[in-house]
Amino acid sequence: MNKAVMRLSLTLMVTAIGASGAIKCHVWREILPCECPVSVSHPRTTSITCKQMPSFGQVIEVLRGRFSPHERINLRLEWSNLHDLQYRQFREINGTIESIKLNHDFVGFLADNAFLGMTKVTYVSFADTAIDAVPGHLWKYMPNIQTADLGRAKIKDILTDSFEDLQNLRNLVLSGNLIARIDKNSIPAQIERLHLGRNKIYNLNNTITGLRNLRWIFLNTNEFEDLEGQLPYEAPNLNMIHASQNRLKSIPHQLSDYPRLENLFLSQNEITSLDGALAGCRELQRLELKSNLIHTLTANDFLQCELLDTLELANNQITSLNNSLIPLKRLTNLKMEYNQLTEFSFSEIVGLERLITLDLSYNQISKLVGPASNLVEPNIRLTDLNLEHNSLEVLNAALSGLSELLRLKLAYNKLKRISPDDFINLDQLRLLDISHNQLKTLEEMSQTYLPRLVELNATHNHLTILDRDFHGLPVLCDADLSSNQISAIGRELVTKTRCKIEHGVHDGTWGTLKVVLTDNPILCDAALPEITAEMETYHTKVTGVSYCPPLNEQPTTAKANAYLGFLPDPTVPSVPVIPPLYAKSAYDSSLILTKTERLETPNQIETKPYPVLRDSPADQKRADQFQNQHVDNYEGRQAEVIQQTLNDQPIAITLHKSAPSYNVTPEVVDPKVNISTTIFDPITQGQVINKLASEIEELKIRIEEISAQNERFFNKTMLEQSNLTVKVP
């Protein structure tokens, strides 16, 4: 018996859930194409949604008789053509409708009779439906409406009688309309939440001065120039005022009269100063004044705003803070980007123990001043500091007291050097961004210990050599050094660094340090495989993409054993060029370099003896000049036959009889790794050898053809001579 009941219950449950997986009402099949998902928060109310219905009559036919008279219904009709609404009635559905939403519909004329008997409706919405005017004639049939949403309905005027029949109205939304006229006393006195944003209102006409119950009001994106005297005279519960994107020149002084005002939004206006208007806002927690014309702050502007949590003053013309922040003991977020500060002193935020985020980017700061040295404990708890896009050339150790700083952004400044004192005591620092500066070295960072730094961004600087720069960064995991001039890396760069993962499922495990070297000369070095292999032994992966010029345009010079790559040295002469194959007097003894005259190239090993030549004279003939002429018509000296042995043996050169002979004794150097003597780049040498081998093959083929021709000519001559021979009897 129990098993049968359980099977029946399971069957009913599966049927109710349907194919979509959502719980639906008991008549969901019968009311298709309408839907009726069951709300967990309102299980006793059936929410019905019908979309793209061709007529209101079809809505009635689909829903009529499906519900009992006492069943509570929230009805929503979207994107439908309700042109026949005036000929039908909502009560034909035979349920108790508590909410009516006609959104994105075409309704034509809103006739009274369509809403007869809708006395239980508490929520009505004509949002995004062009009704052109407030349907005041309908309210007497729905007198218990508490919330009316008439947003974006192309309403132009609010008349005195627009809402007079709605004595229970608490929430009124009129946003996104074309309202320019508001009659006096047209808004019901009991209103608690009023949205008049995104209209064309320039004067409230004392409409809301008596709204004592007001909790929040939206006046944003209108044409107000002054709100003084237009706000409620008394509003003990007023919590939020949103008046951004107007043309306000000043802040209404009556704001200090609202004892529970917590959120104030006055951004994108034309306010030039605070003028003490907010000094008495004791409960204010969030203040937004960005994108105004504020140029001055005074010590009394926030005198009693001790509960202020977030202050946004970005995109103004502020040149100094003038100790105005001192009273803000609970401030956690301060945004001051896009102002005109030229100097910032951390004494401005001393004592603000809850301040964790400070954004000073896009100012003109050229000087930082640390907190006063006589302070035993400055009580600065910053975790995020943004100083990007300023004019800093030095840091002056001003940041050394920020012991809880996690993220420091110094990109797009003019920093030329970083001293060991600049980052002292930044033991919690995780991210350091010093990109887009003028740094030539990070060498002094090795003397600063940042025990928890995991991400370093130093792109777009003038770095040339990385030596022991990471020695003070023991757990570094990501180092982006792209777009510099790095051509050499010290072998000890990462010997004291090992990436350690601190967050996620792999917290506390060791990882791999990733060094990005995109657009650096080091990636074009012939020793790149050696560099990457050396780094991998210390759990470091070198990555990046770089454009490399042709090998014959790349510099080569001597370097110390402690470095990998090309170590810049402007005193080293250019690389000698291997003479062309068919050059006049190619083996003049004056062209042979001595051992001390040779130049070393990066990471090369001299393993075989061979002669090293100076540049040949400028008037020599190129190989291609010879190749384009027929052998029989060639008037120059005889071809030089060059033979190369296998396995990279020394090149043996044999000259034909017409060429003068020279005695050349090649130097033999014992093969050593990283020897101090200098030789040619092996890649360039290999290319020359390949070219020589190709030309030798062409010469061999040509010589074979000439030999065959000579043999045929000889045979032909012998045959002709034999035919002319006369036999003696």
Closest-CA residue to 242 (of 197, 183, 292, 297) = 197
| Mean pLDDT calculated for residue range 155-177 | 97
Nearest-angstrom CA–CA distance, 250 and 227: 8
62 and 105 co-located in one domain: yes
With a pLDDT cut of 70, the percent of the chain lying above it is 75
Q: What is the 3-state secondary structure (H, E, C) of 235-282?
A: CCCCCEEECCCCCCCCCCHHHHHCCCCCEEECCCCCCCCCCCCCCCCC
Over 80: is that where the pLDDT of 582 sits? no
Over 70: is that where the pLDDT of 593 sits? no
pLDDT of residue 122: 97
- Specify if 583 maps to a domain: no
Q: Are strands 563-565 and 513-516 parallel, antiparallel or unpaired?
A: unpaired
97 and 31 co-located in one domain: yes
Over 70: is that where the pLDDT of 13 sits? no
Q: Over the range 74-88, which residues count as b (16 or more CB within 10 Å of their CB) and which as e?
A: bbbbbebbbbbbbeb
3 and 107 co-located in one domain: yes
- Specify if 62 maps to a domain: yes
551 and 608 co-located in one domain: no
Nearest-angstrom CA–CA distance, 301 and 613: 81
Question: Which pair of structure tokens corresponds to residue 202?
Answer: 């320039």
Q: Bigger pLDDT: 631 or 399? A: 399
- Specify if 470 maps to a domain: yes
110 and 36 co-located in one domain: yes
Q: What is the 3-state secondary structure (H, E, C) of 615-666?
A: CCCCCCCCHHHHHCCCHHHCCCCCCCEEEECCCCCCEEEECCCCCCCCCCCC
CA angle 57, 63, 66 (to 5 degrees): 150
Write down which residue in 121, 150, 178 finishes a domain.
121
pLDDT of residue 652: 33
Spell out the residues 6+ positions from residue 130 whose beta carbon is closer than 8 angstroms to its own.
Answer: 106, 153, 154
7 and 117 co-located in one domain: yes
- Specify if 691 maps to a domain: yes
pLDDT of residue 579: 43
- Specify if 355 maps to a domain: no
Half-sphere exposure of residue 630, counting CA atoms within 13 Å on the CB side?
3
pLDDT of residue 15: 41
Q: For the segment 93-120, what is each residue's pLDDT rounded down to a tens digit?
A: 999 999 999 999 999 889 999 999 999 9
Q: For the segment 26-72, what is each residue's pLDDT rounded down to a tens digit?
A: 899 999 999 999 887 777 899 999 999 999 999 999 999 999 999 99
530 and 603 co-located in one domain: no
| Mean pLDDT calculated for residue range 237-252 | 98
Q: For the segment 309-335, what is each residue's pLDDT rounded down to a tens digit?
A: 999 999 999 999 999 999 999 999 999
With bands split at pLDDT 50, 70 and 90, how would you rate the model's confidence at 573? Answer: very low
> Which residues, in sequence order, are bridge partners of residue 103?
78
Phi, psi of 708 (to 5 degrees): -65, -40
pLDDT of residue 420: 87
Q: For the segment 66-79, what is each residue's pLDDT rounded down to a tens digit?
A: 999 999 999 999 99
* pTM of the predicted model as reported, rounded to 2 decimal places: 0.74
1 and 114 co-located in one domain: yes
Q: For the segment 333-367, what is each residue's pLDDT rounded down to a tens digit?
A: 999 999 999 999 999 999 999 999 999 999 999 99
Mean pLDDT is highest, among 426-430, 645-649, 687-691, for 426-430
603 and 567 co-located in one domain: no
682 and 616 co-located in one domain: yes
Question: Which pair of structure tokens corresponds to residue 452?
Answer: 């928890």
Nearest-angstrom CA–CA distance, 705 and 6: 100
- 3-class DSSP state of 37: strand
Q: Are 401 and 377 in contact (CB under 8 A)?
A: no
pLDDT of residue 550: 73
Nearest-angstrom CA–CA distance, 430 and 417: 21
Nearest-angstrom CA–CA distance, 643 and 652: 6
Question: Which pair of structure tokens corresponds to residue 521?
Answer: 């000369």
pLDDT of residue 28: 92
| Mean pLDDT calculated for residue range 409-417 | 97
Write down which residue in 121, 156, 187 finishes a domain.
121
Cis check: omega of the bond before 568, within 30 degrees of 0: no
- Specify if 397 maps to a domain: no
Q: For the segment 495-508, what is each residue's pLDDT rounded down to a tens digit?
A: 999 998 876 555 66
With bands split at pLDDT 50, 70 and 90, how would you rate the model's confidence at 683? Answer: low
Q: Bigger pLDDT: 373 or 341? A: 341
Number of C-beta neighbours around residue 361 at 10 A = 20
- Specify if 586 maps to a domain: no
DSSP character string of 559-592: --TTEEE----TTSPPPPPPPPSS-TTTT-GGGB
Write down which residue in 80, 104, 121 finishes a domain.
121
What total of structural domains would you count in the chain? Answer: 3
Over 80: is that where the pLDDT of 216 sits? yes
- 3-class DSSP state of 530: helix
With bands split at pLDDT 50, 70 and 90, how would you rate the model's confidence at 375? Answer: low
Over 60: is that where the pLDDT of 669 sits? no
With a pLDDT cut of 90, the percent of the chain lying above it is 63
- Specify if 549 maps to a domain: yes
In single-letter form, the type of residue at position 66 comes to: R
642 and 556 co-located in one domain: no
Domain span at residue 101? 1-121
pLDDT of residue 261: 98
Average pLDDT, rounded, for the chain = 82
pLDDT of residue 551: 62
517 and 600 co-located in one domain: no
